[in-house]
Amino acid sequence: MSPARFDVLTSRYPSLRLAVVGDFCLDRYFDIDRARPETSLETGLPVHNISQVRCQPGAAGTILNNLVALGIGTLRPVGVCGDDGEGWELRRALAALPGVQLDSFITSGERHTFTYTKPLVQHADRPPEELSRLDLKNWTPTPPKLREELAAAAWHAVTTTEGTIVLDQVDLEGTGVVTTPLLETLRGVAELKPRRLVVADSRRGLRDWPALVFKMNARELGALSGRPVDSLDEIRQACAALARVNGQPAFVTLAERGMVGATPDGEVAHVSSRPIRGPIDIVGAGDSVTANLTAALAAGATVTEAMELAMAAASLVIHQLGTTGTASVAQIRALLS
């Protein structure tokens, strides 16, 4: 991509309105100070003394963080948090982000706030060491009234923005934001407004989802295709077939092998990943790809251009240790040049 083309695309970011629909969580980091060792008098077990607590939006919030870093003008999160301390922290963190409008972000007394607590032992001479994570999730079905409220909010967000990302992050189907009513809402959008940009990503796979822009990894593509897709040729063929059936672009991330994308008219492209430049942490790389793909496509990028920007952003994110990183336009420009 030429510098001039890069500037044309990214100059459109401040005027874009994008929505993020899905499972927002609170990423809570506990920085543990190894210089303050202690043993509990009551239990005899080691005490981890915390020197700092850092809270930021995670899961779908990580996508939002990346869109903020790109300078997207207006951002509309559609999700839910609990009426609890974690929910207060999450709403505060979201409200502090420029361009974010919280009118479609619901607080519910019937849900816990989805939370990832990440204890990090800080070392002076090497990257932080992450201990076992502490997760707070909802294991019961999302209440019917809340499902309908989220579906209605999603419809409004999709139909009043230039692009939408839908992230299904929960482990147990029906316990998060993406439930049957919301999928039916997205199906209606796909049928009535097929040119609307809606990018879908689900850790449980996209089988039975409506015809949207699919973003997945090779394992998920194989499960969706019903056959193994290991070689690059197999992935290219399966991705092209998926794009043709959905009538929408499709993208497949391949970790160190890069990324494959296809258009409904048969164009298939592969963009390689960038070289490793030191220690890495892959947490958040996939969300960075999703955010950058969507922003670029909404700005008028081709499938190949969108993947080039997404791969550059992912390279920047994985080299940020001890946090779930983001990549700005200036950082991406410097890496591409």
What CATH number is associated with residue 210? 3.40.1190.20
The answer as to whether 120 is a domain residue is no
Cβ pair 146, 177 in contact under 8 A? no
Report mean pLDDT in 10-residue bins for the chain, 337 residues.
94 98 96 90 92 94 96 98 97 96 97 95 85 95 98 94 96 96 95 92 94 95 88 94 96 93 96 79 80 97 97 86 80 92
What is the DSSP secondary structure assignment for residue 225, as one 8-state letter?
H
Q: Which two tokens stand for residue 3?
A: 């510098």
The answer as to whether 247 is a domain residue is yes
**Interstrand relation of 250-253 and 24-33 (parallel, antiparallel or unpaired):** unpaired
Provide the residue range defining the domain that includes 198.
Answer: 3-25+58-114+138-336
The answer as to whether 53 is a domain residue is no
The answer as to whether 36 is a domain residue is no
- Name every residue whose Cβ is closer than 8 Å to that of residue 302 and which is 6 or more positions away in sequence: none
The answer as to whether 156 is a domain residue is yes
The answer as to whether 259 is a domain residue is yes
pLDDT tens readout for residues 218-235: 999 999 988 888 899 999
pLDDT at 194: 86
Model pTM above 0.75: yes
The answer as to whether 46 is a domain residue is no
The answer as to whether 51 is a domain residue is no
What is the DSSP secondary structure assignment for residue 290, as one 8-state letter?
H
d(CA 142, CA 135): 18
- Number of independent structural domains in the chain: 1
pLDDT tens readout for residues 57-115: 999 999 999 999 999 999 999 999 999 999 999 999 999 999 999 999 999 999 999 99
